[in-house]
Amino acid sequence: MSFILTAIRGTTAVFRTTRAYKAEAVRSIFSSPYLLDAEEETTPDKGKPVDPEKDRSIKHSYETSVRYLASTAYKTTYGTDPVWKHYRRNHKGALPPKKTRQTCIRKGVITTGSPCPICRDEYLVLDHRNPELLKQFISEHNGEILSYRKTGICQVRHQELLIAITRAKDYGIITFDVPFREYDYSEWYKPEPKI
């Protein structure tokens, strides 16, 4: 009996040492210099010049965005359509994923080949004082905010959009009334016979 107990104690000691060895191996992998080099390669280098079309380090004010929405440059680019209408998401496979990407901009630079409609145009600023832009993301039929599946904007910009629209509604900048519709009830009810 004592032989079996010693054998069991020995296996638990071996099990403990192998578990500790695996944990140490995992720690060494995540702290290896090779992983850090691979991480640095994916982010833009500080010494490398950034493409001016992809640089988003300069933040524009909402006044600039309001002036841009009233300019001829905006009208020639988008016309009378919303900014998201002609955008097409790029994705792998035939069916798009349920969620859009987390963000298009990392460290002030666009890191994707097809940024979302808000990230690709630096003069579109989501702010509660910019109602002309916010109204493009609100359904004209029921006043609800359009889904990111339809608009294609990234998750970070969608959260900014939700906050901006909520603030605009709180401040009374954006209001929505359900349009009143006149119905002709003679089609539904028979006229009463005259006596």
CB of 106 within 8 A of CB of 122?
no
124 DSSP assignment? -
Taking the C-alpha atoms of residue 34 and residue 49, their distance in angstroms, rounded to an integer, is 25
State whether 73 and 158 are in the same domain.
yes
Segments forming the whole domain that contains residue 84:
62-171
pLDDT in tens, 70-107: 999 999 999 999 999 999 888 888 888 889 999 999 99
- The pLDDT value given to residue 37: 41
Both 74 and 32 in one domain: the answer is no
Q: Report which of 156, 131, 161 is spatially closest to residue 146, judged by C-alpha positions.
A: 161
Q: What is the mean pLDDT of residues 31-36?
A: 42
Q: Examine the domain organization and report whether 143 and 66 are in the same domain.
A: yes
Who wins on pLDDT, 20 or 178? 178
Q: Can you tell me the distance from the alpha carbon of 117 to that of 100, in angstroms, rounded to the nearest whole number?
A: 12
Reference 141, options 168, 166, 178, 174; nearest CA is 178
> pLDDT band at 42, cuts 50/70/90?
very low
Structure tokens at 21: 């060895």
**Tally of domains within the chain:** 2
Is there a single domain that holds both residue 9 and residue 72? no
Co-location of 31 and 97 in the same domain: no
In a domain, 51, yes or no: no
Q: What is the Cα–Cα distance from 156 to 102, expressed in whole angstroms?
A: 6
The answer to whether the CB of 91 falls within 8 A of the CB of 149 is no
Residue 113 within any structural domain of the chain: yes
